[in-house]
Amino acid sequence: MNIAVLSTNRNLYSTKRFVEAIETSGHQAQIIDHSKCYVGIQQGNPTIHYRGQDLAHIDAIIPRIGNSLTFYGSAIVRQFEVMDVVSANPSQAITRSRDKLRCMQILSGAGLGLPITGFARSVSDVDDLISMVGGAPLVIKLLEGTQGIGVVLAETKKAASSVIEAFYGLGNNILIQEYIKEAKGTDIRAFVVDGKVVGAMKRTAKEGEFRSNLHRGGSAEIVKLTRDEKASAISAAKAMGLTVAGVDMLPSVRGPLILEVNSSPGLEGIEAATGKDIAIEVVRYLERQYAVKQAAKPISVKRKIKKESKL
């Protein structure tokens, strides 16, 4: 197979590991910077070009779409989908997972455990919103933040009101969330591929920090998930429509609470903590999907011929 890793940075650990896994599996790997792809849209003949090359030879893609390029990146993934190329994640699910509010709404609709979360627009509703999530301390989040940036812990109601008003004043959309004290700066990242947890780690925030993101100085170790945690992670990925997902959860007295579902989860932390080859799991999924597609092809071609002969 010709498998493309869509990534704007070929030096990232995850990009390099995917290339390695593709090549050790006997396929051809190509890193494609999706920000430099351009598309042709016309009846029955969708195309993608990259640095003058027509990408019609690509059989499967692993999208690694960063937060700053969600719109353009998912449009490129969608174009590959239109061309019947197998993707590690659907474009629609990538867009869905990028918005923390949308993610929480979908997970809540699927009946999954979550921290109590509120969303409002007007400053006059802030007091009520704060009580809705159980008062201070509480967590305030920018809808499209990532790697812990834009996640603030407000210890008092006064601090919360000021921060919320400041965010509104700057025209930012935020959500307000119950602070899960039991978490004590730790969370769990479950890496899900095709309905299975292929690795899990516990992340612990550095001293004096409540955000356990590795980018914020957190550390990681392997963890064995409870049956509940495993089931929640799998259901969360499924509800979001993601085949490859990094599901972040907080253990609490009321069971696992899901914080977010990432569509381009990093490999470095999880592979180091678990000692597992996670990249290969994604390649195995693409192989299975590609085989299904190939097996279905002769039938669709047959159908087309039959249909045409009737005309």
Binding site for Mg ion (CB under 5 A): 248
Residue 145 lies near ligand ADP (rule: CB under 6 A)? yes
| Nearest approach, Cβ of residue 116 and ligand ADP (Å) | 9
Token pair of 65 as six digits: 């779409």
Question: With CB under 6 A as the contact rule, which of the stretches 9-17, 29-37, 146-154, 292-300 interacts with ligand ADP?
Answer: 146-154
Among 5, 7, 187, 237, binds ligand ADP (CB under 6 A): 187
CA angle, 172 then 148 then 180, to 5°? 95
Q: How far is CA 92 from CA 74, 78, 89, in A?
A: 7, 8, 9
Residues 201-220 that bind ligand ADP (CB under 6 A): 210-213
Contact flag: residue 167 with ligand ADP (CB under 6 A): no
Instruction: Determine contact, residues 231/204, Cβ cutoff 8 Å.
Output: no
Least distance (Å) between residue 193 CB and Mg ion: 18
Pinpoint the alpha helices (H) of 135-278.
157-169, 227-240, 268-274
Task: Tell me the CB-side half-sphere exposure of residue 127, using CA atoms within 13 A.
Answer: 1
Structure tokens that stand for 194 in this block: 């095709």
Look at residue 271 and give the partner it binds from Mg ion, ligand ADP, none, a contact being a CB closer than 5 to 8 Å depending on partner kind. none
At 116, give phi and psi (nearest 5°): -60, 130
Spatial separation of the C-alpha atoms in residues 40 and 47, rounded to whole Å? 5
- Which residue number, 178 or 281, has a Cβ lying nearer to ligand ADP? 178
Q: Which of 103, 174, 107 is nearest to 141 (CA)?
A: 174
Residue (193 or 258) nearer to Mg ion, CB: 258
Picked from Mg ion, ligand ADP, none, the partner binding residue 123 (CB below 5 to 8 A depending on kind) is none
**Shortest distance, position 104 Cβ to Mg ion, whole Å:** 13
User: Would you count residue 274 as binding ligand ADP (CB under 6 A)?
Assistant: no
**32 vs 251, beta carbon nearer Mg ion:** 251
Q: Which of 18, 80, 167, 179 binds ligand ADP (CB under 6 A)?
A: 179
- DSSP H or E segment with residue 138: strand 138-142
* Tokens encoding 207: 């001293």
Of 89-118, binders to ligand ADP (CB under 6 A) are 115
Residue with tokens 């869509």: 6
137 or 148, CB closer to Mg ion? 148
- Out of 139, 175, 201, 225, which residue is the one contacting ligand ADP (CB under 6 A)? 139
Residue closer to ligand ADP (CB basis): 53 or 68:
68
Strand partners, 192: 197, 245
Residue 216 CB, shortest distance to ligand ADP, in Å, is 8
Residue 148 in the binding site for ligand ADP (CB under 6 A): yes
Q: Is the dihedral of CA 197, 190, 92, 73 positive or negative?
A: negative
Q: Which does 187 bind (CB under 5 to 8 A by kind): Mg ion, ligand ADP, none?
A: ligand ADP
* Cβ at position 307, least distance to Mg ion in Å: 48
The enclosing H or E element of 160 equals helix 157-169
Contact 228, 255 (CB under 8 A): yes
User: HSE (CB half, 13 Å, CA atoms) of 140?
Assistant: 26
CB of 119 to Mg ion, least distance (A): 18
**Binding site residues, ligand ADP, CB under 6 A:** 115, 139, 141, 145-149, 151, 177-180, 183, 187, 210-213, 248, 250, 259-260
